[in-house]
Amino acid sequence: MFHGSITALITPFRDGALDMDAFGRLVEGQIEQGSHGLVPCGTTGESPTLTKEEHDLIVERTVALVKGRIPVIAGTGTNSTASTIESTLRAQHAGADAALIVTPYYNKPTQDGLYAHYKAVHDATDIPIIIYNIPPRCIIDMSVDTMSRLAELPRIVGVKDATADLTRPTLLRNRVGPDFCQLSGEDGTAPLCAQMQNAWRAGNIKEAETIRDRLAPLNKALFCETSPAPIKYAASQLGICTDEVRLPMLPATPAARAAVDKAMEFAGLHKAQNPAPARAAG
């Protein structure tokens, strides 16, 4: 159902407000560069600091801009089952192709609690659901046993795995079969860019390896500080948007900017003639 390079979109800001012009350029640029899907309002999109109205606007605008050309997987997860259901229903109504639902952060539910949370969202909606398992952000880790139980529900169709455990996909595949979609949420453990994905699917292994090696320093640099601050700095240098983030996030520090600049140069990404000015890190 879903495959390839699926980009977690940043949310551009300007002077504290959504920059929807920049967001439109970002979406079109992703499609032009061959992305196989888009994720608005995920962690990279600073979803915890978005208002409900902003969240809905971004999902609606993404669907309207994409016009069915590639899948839109809306981030709708919170640490409240009721609010997750509401957010998922709104994304469903907006025309999203699927919902990406993060494990409930801060609450630290048990494995049975995780199952009950996802089943409740599944039963209250009619949209395909992808589990987002990211222990470094959420503290909890959904076990293979729990995910296998959830995979039995007809519209829980896959997982975005950010555990960095390379044994996990095989263990899960042995339990649930090949039809359960397994996506990587760790840039360094998967060929994420569109060119590399296409080369891999076409059997051009040497080309895929060359692109992988060129991107490896960038994958590391973009997470040298808490995401998405380094990513937004990189986007500002490409002329996509400002590097503005919302508190409690701060812009990338000078050291992080230097690391990103070096990695971008190594990857062959050239700065825009008029990059957006970077803000002080505070």
Could you list the active site residues? Answer: 132, 160
* Total residue length of the chain: 282
Question: In sequence order, what are the beta bridge partners of 100?
Answer: 75, 130
Degrees (nearest 5) of the Cα angle 214, 25, 61? 120
8 by DSSP, 3-state: which? Answer: strand
- For residue 89, give the amino acid letter: L
Contact assessment for residue 143 and residue 115, using Cβ atoms and an 8 Å cutoff = no
Q: How many CB atoms are closer than 10 A to CB 57? A: 18
Token pair listed for 209:
């390896």
- The Cα 197–Cα 204 span in angstroms is 10
CA atoms of 121 and 23, how far apart (whole Å): 29
With a CB cutoff of 8 Å and minimum separation 6, the contacts of 200 are 191, 208
Helix (H) or strand (E) holding 203: none
DSSP string, 120-151: HHHHH--S-EEEEE-HHHHS----HHHHHHHH
Within a 10 A sphere around the Cβ of 65, how many other Cβ atoms?
A: 18
| φ, ψ for residue 45, nearest 5 deg | -85, 10
